[in-house]
Amino acid sequence: MKVTIDGQSIDVEPGTTILQAARMIGGESVPPAMCYYTKLKGSGGKCRCCLVEVAKGSDNDPRPMPKLMASCVTGCQDGMEINSTASERVQDARKSVTEFLLINHPLDCPVCDQAGECDLQNLSFKHGKSQTRYIEKKRTFEPEDIGPNIQLHMNRCILCYRCVMVADQLTDDRVHGVMDRGDHSNISTCISKAITNEFSGNMIDVCPVGALTDKTFRFKSRVWFNKPFDAHRECTTPGCCGKTTVWMFGNEIQRVTGRKDEFHEVDNFICNTCRFDKKEVSDWTIEGPRKFEKFSVINQNNYTRELDTVIIETEKGILKGRDQDRKKISMPQVPLSETEKEVFTEGNI
Amino acid sequence: MKVLDIKQEINMTESLMTRINELISHYPEGKQKSALLPVLHEVQDAHNDWLSIELQDKVAEILSIKPVEVYEVVSFYTMFNRQPIGKYMFEFCTTSPCCLNGVENLMDYTCDKLGVKVGEPTPDGMFEVRGVQCLGACGYAPMMQLGDFYQEHLTKEKIDQLIVDCRDNKITLHDK
Amino acid sequence: MSQKILLDKINVPGIKTYEVYRREGGYASVEKAIKTLTPDEVVEEVKTSGLRGRGGAGFPAGMKWSFIDKKSGKPRHLVCNADESEPGTFKDRFLMEHLPHLLIEGMITSSYALGANLSYIYIRGEYMWVYKILERAIAEAKAAGWLGKNILGSGYDLELYVQIGGGAYICGEETALIESLEGKRGNPRIKPPFPAISGLWSNPTVVNNVETIAAVPWIINNSGADYAKIGIGRSTGTKLISASGHVKNQGVYEIELGLSVYEFMNSDEYLGGMIDSRPLKAFVPGGSSVPVLPANLIYKTANGDDRLMTYESLSDGGFATGSMLGSGGFIVYNDTACIVRNTWNFARFYAHESCGQCSPCREGTGWLEKVLWRIENGQGREEDIDLLWSIQSKIEGNTICPLGDAAAWPVAAAIRHFRDEFEYHVRFPEKIKNREHFVAEPFEKVKHLVSKQTV
């Protein structure tokens, strides 16, 4: 089957979704996806970030689809023509969804462990605005302790349902889910139960935002200060491949995650033993540096670039600024008009 | 919503279990989860109109499903109460057509009369006033739900009478 | 008097009971269908009738039936949507409460047409007493041999049960209803697959509104062609209208489609005009989600034609000057009603009822509600009106299910037709402090304060 996305054509198997086809093409036309996750059955369709315009339904039925379609759950048809980045309507919709996702999202990136590898940050960077139109109080939730390994920060959650699907599909004893409804929907165990299943740690990897983070890594480092390496070990947990990325600071393994591809999806799910308990270099066979996509902030700490020493001349700099400000405010080079002189000297009240 | 730590006495009587089993029989083999909503109604009605976590766990056990599947459902639907409520819960419909017919003033009147605020039971636990969304009785407004039944075309006088009837134990809450 | 086909027996004493209903000719359509027609012939009759789904969307019922997957060999189900919750709509409850056997008869005949052997009526949780009425009626029907194995010796089996909901408007959306019927949260499913292919327990399923199903017995007893003779054009048959708000005779009416809005509003047979003869300000013809219309667009369309009670006439002019028949929830406002307050009220409803699954609806409905609350409570800013417009336009069309549109449309229509009322709220916060601000001083009297000045 042939489909065309933003003018680029590709042959795909029946059953391929538009998003999958776009990912095969790669580049700018790939729609952002906050809830769809290839390895989780039934995921997708919820965040509405990946909306695209179907300009031609198929060769058999060339009518355009009236509504924008969620590319992650819409199957390709032979001859289908799709506008993604090329469509202004689509760009507008992505901007809208970004705004909706951000209105209640806390502005706590500076203290969020996900910062630097956050899909919502990336989405905002590309489709967000620097101003907010939302002046109401942001929604907050009571903190809930879900055990020693996983930190739940509900205020950051965008309700992608991925973690629920991980619990459903990777474990047989799901103890958390989505409670309540509407804008009060929240991820919870309802009874503050520890989520301890051996594969529960994958909830952290699939979480697109900082709602589920690794408690054993909490506040240890910014992700871009770590050096990621691919590593493996002989893991005895049934179902775990033992292939991971270890995040090092000097000789210390600060964090272990699954290996994520350019769409931030893990190649394989890993067990909690690998993730939380194996933090010694001797636990692992290090394969080599893990590569990230070109624009990832993680590359800030890449392996080759030399950094110049940064000298910050605090006091001097501040005074310099003050001097400049003083000049700007008084604007001595612009002579005052007669009325202005009067106002400045006598006031206008 | 915070789940309060209030103990609830669980009493799955024989008649209740008979009814539950009958409800389960409405669905094909293996689809007993479908009975969740009707079963929750029956269980709640038999337990002072609320469902503690223990009671929800009991329902999960009866239907052979995970407790969290029950919590998710209970928290989604508005008719399931996760903490004790006033015995006679006056649930006024506060959607537009009822408002056009003066439900807001009637609610104020009822609250004043009972000396409570919306959502707070009277100290004796007898009454509670709540505003709910459209109950599908717009042409008979203003109205409220009391137990399984609707009280329609409400007036101050009717409210007064209802309060008296509740106190005199003349009001049936559930049709069993 | 117009023809009644649903409520013609409503005044027969005891019609609620099986004996009386049967004596009055009830269950004849089941006999006729099972003994003399093939399932496909029943489907054809319904197609010919032009009967359109009465839940709000107005999709042709026979067409919907013909989509059901019969090839896969999977069990099929008919589910009746009795989760009536659209503000302004209370017709299904009226029908079920007073004519439970009509719905059951319709369910049997329709299930036969679809080849369904296990069917359900999903009723909203708040209609608990109606649930009990239906349960008892089903037991009566079963005892009389209309349900169970080998109905009328035909070899056709059908079990019918009522399922009770738990309080969630969203379960009126057919896939959310199916989820709820499976004992889950009422989150609408992503379509496709449509229920006709994969519905209840992944089996082919048709979901129809109560009123739609209740029209089937008449169609089978008479004929699809007879039904199509009633009404105008593609709006065939009769429709139940639930009327509420500031009209004299609130209640449920059966009308022939094609009746003029003027006659429906003003004749003594129907609504009998406005309460206290106050001026008509606005109306919502099809339940809270459809656009509100101002007085000048109610009796006449923008081209000056008479506005009729039909799918087509009510939507004449598109959203610019028209609305929709929707579920037939007819809400009438006089000059004491505040459009801003009413819009806020509806926005609060949709924010409360959003399932929270997809971002535009989850976040957008709450945002609309908050901004409208501010405006209605004297904390509005001039830019909030454009903000509202923008938010609703970003929700519309971008959500999984129609609840997003339902939340967006009333806001858009209110701003489109009553923008000056929003401006008044923003500019004169002290005048709207009392929630009944237009009771003492209708907007008409203060309108000049916000009217455009030409200098």
CB contact under 8 A, B68 and A181: no
Per the prediction, chain C carries an average pLDDT of 96
Most B-contacting residue of A142, A181, A190 (CB-CB within 10 A), to test interface: A190
Domain containing residue B93: CATH number = 3.40.30.10
Domain containing residue A6: CATH number = 3.10.20.740
Structural domain including B95 reads 88-167
The pLDDT score that the predictor gives to residue A226 is: 87
Shortest CA distance from C92: residue in chain B:
B136
What are the residue ranges in chain A where pLDDT is below 70?
300-336, 340-349
Q: From the list B34, B72, B134, which residue is nearest C85 (CB)?
A: B134
The pLDDT score that the predictor gives to residue A349 is: 46
Domain containing residue A214: CATH number = 3.30.70.20
Structural domain including A234 reads 220-338
Q: From the list C88, C161, C185, which residue is nearest B138 (CB)?
A: C88
Q: Chains meeting C at 3+ CB pairs closer than 8 A?
A: A, B
C156 contacts C35 by C-beta, under 8 angstroms: no
pLDDT at residue C208 greater than cutoff 90: yes
Shortest CA distance from C170: residue in chain B:
B77
- pLDDT tens, residue by residue, B27-63: 999 999 999 999 999 999 999 999 999 999 999 999 9
The pLDDT score that the predictor gives to residue A340 is: 67
Using the Cβ of C237 and the Cβ atoms of chain B, whether some distance falls under 8 Å is answered with no
The pLDDT score that the predictor gives to residue C455 is: 63
Q: Which own/partner contact pairs does A274-282 have at CB distance under 8 Å and 24+ positions apart?
A: A274/A233, A274/A235, A274/A237, A274/A240, A274/A242, A274/A244, A275/A149, A275/A201, A275/A204, A275/A214, A275/A244, A276/A149, A276/A201, A276/A214, A276/A216, A278/A233, A278/A253, A279/A216, A279/A252, A279/A253, A279/A254, A280/A253, A281/A251, A281/A253
Beta bridge partners of C332: C245, C283
CB contact under 8 A, A183 and C354: yes
Query: Which fold would CATH assign to domain C232-334?
Result: Ubiquitin-like (UB roll) (3.10.20)
Let me know if residue A147 belongs to a domain: yes
Beta strand pairing call for C118-123 and C159-164 = parallel
Using the Cβ of C220 and the Cβ atoms of chain B, whether some distance falls under 8 Å is answered with no
| Chains A–B, number of C-beta pairs less than 8 Å apart | 32
Alpha carbon distance C121, C135 (integer Å): 10
CB contact under 8 A, A174 and B68: yes
CB contact under 8 A, C166 and B78: yes
Angle ∠(A135,A179,B134) on CA atoms, nearest 5: 70
Let me know if residue A236 belongs to a domain: yes
Shortest CA distance from A51: residue in chain C:
C398
The pLDDT score that the predictor gives to residue A327 is: 53
Please report which confidence band the pLDDT of residue B176 belongs to, taking 50, 70 and 90 as the band edges: confident
Using the Cβ of B28 and the Cβ atoms of chain C, whether some distance falls under 8 Å is answered with yes
Residues in chain A within 8 Å Cβ distance of C363: 100-101, 103-104, 183
Query: Which residue from A263, A271, A262, A213 is spatially nearest to A240, judged by alpha carbons?
Result: A271
Using the Cβ of A96 and the Cβ atoms of chain C, whether some distance falls under 8 Å is answered with yes
Q: Work out the average pLDDT over C128-153.
A: 97
The pLDDT score that the predictor gives to residue A310 is: 59
The rounded percent of chain C whose pLDDT value lies above 90 is 97
CB contact under 8 A, C367 and A184: no
Domain containing residue B21: CATH number = 1.10.10
C99 contacts C8 by C-beta, under 8 angstroms: no
CB contact under 8 A, A183 and C359: no
Q: Which CATH architecture has domain C18-229?
A: 3-Layer(aba) Sandwich (3.40)
- pLDDT tens, residue by residue, C59-83: 999 999 999 999 999 999 999 999 9
Buried b (16+ CB within 10 A) or exposed e, C357-385: bbbbbbbbbbbbbbbbbbbbbeebeeebb
Interface of A with B in 285-324 (CB under 8 A): none
Same fold, C18-229 and C339-445: no
B68 with B96, same domain: the answer is: no
Residues in chain B within 8 Å Cβ distance of A179: 1, 71-72, 75-76
B41 with B61, same domain: the answer is: yes
Instruction: Give the minimum alpha-carbon distance from A69 to chain C in angstroms, rounded to a whole number.
Output: 8
Using the Cβ of C407 and the Cβ atoms of chain A, whether some distance falls under 8 Å is answered with no
A224 with A209, same domain: the answer is: no
Q: How many residues does chain A have?
A: 349
| Token pair for A168 | 């459903």
Instruction: Give the minimum alpha-carbon distance from C44 to chain B in angstroms, rounded to a whole number.
Output: 30
Q: How many domains does chain A have?
A: 3
The pLDDT score that the predictor gives to residue A311 is: 63
pLDDT at residue C8 greater than cutoff 60: yes
Residues in chain A within 8 Å Cβ distance of C364: 100
Query: Which fold would CATH assign to domain C339-445?
Result: de novo design (two linked rop proteins) (1.20.1440)
**Is C436 buried (19+), middle (13-18) or exposed (0-12) by CB count in 10 A?**
middle
**Neighbour count for residue C318 (Cβ, 10 Å):** 10
CB contact under 8 A, A179 and B71: yes
Choosing from B50, B76, B102, the residue where a domain stops is B76
A163 with A176, same domain: the answer is: yes
CB contact under 8 A, A177 and B68: yes
Q: From the list C161, C346, C352, which residue is nearest B26 (CB)?
A: C161
The pLDDT score that the predictor gives to residue B1 is: 46
Q: How many domains does chain B have?
A: 2
Using the Cβ of A191 and the Cβ atoms of chain B, whether some distance falls under 8 Å is answered with yes
- pLDDT tens, residue by residue, A32-51: 999 999 999 999 999 999 99
Shortest CA distance from A176: residue in chain B:
B68
Q: What is the ipTM of this complex?
A: 0.96
**Neighbour count for residue B167 (Cβ, 10 Å):** 13
- pLDDT tens, residue by residue, A158-200: 999 999 999 999 998 899 999 999 999 999 999 888 998 999 9
Residues in chain C within 8 Å Cβ distance of A106: none
The pLDDT score that the predictor gives to residue A314 is: 57
3-state secondary structure (DSSP) of residue C302: coil
Q: From the list A142, A173, A177, which residue is nearest B2 (CB)?
A: A142
Which residue type is seen at A146? Answer: I
pLDDT at residue C317 greater than cutoff 80: yes
- pLDDT tens, residue by residue, B102-159: 999 999 999 999 999 999 999 999 999 999 999 999 999 999 999 999 999 999 999 9
Beta bridge partners of C254: C240
| Token pair for C307 | 């506005």
Instruction: Please state the domain extents for chain C.
Output: 18-229, 232-334, 339-445
Using the Cβ of A131 and the Cβ atoms of chain C, whether some distance falls under 8 Å is answered with no
Let me know if residue A346 belongs to a domain: no
Q: From the list A142, A177, A191, which residue is nearest B72 (CB)?
A: A177
The rounded percent of chain C whose pLDDT value lies above 70 is 99
Q: Work out the average pLDDT over C142-157.
A: 96
CA atoms within 13 Å, Cβ hemisphere of C436: 9
Q: What's the pTM value of the predicted model, to 2 decimals?
A: 0.93
B100 with B48, same domain: the answer is: no
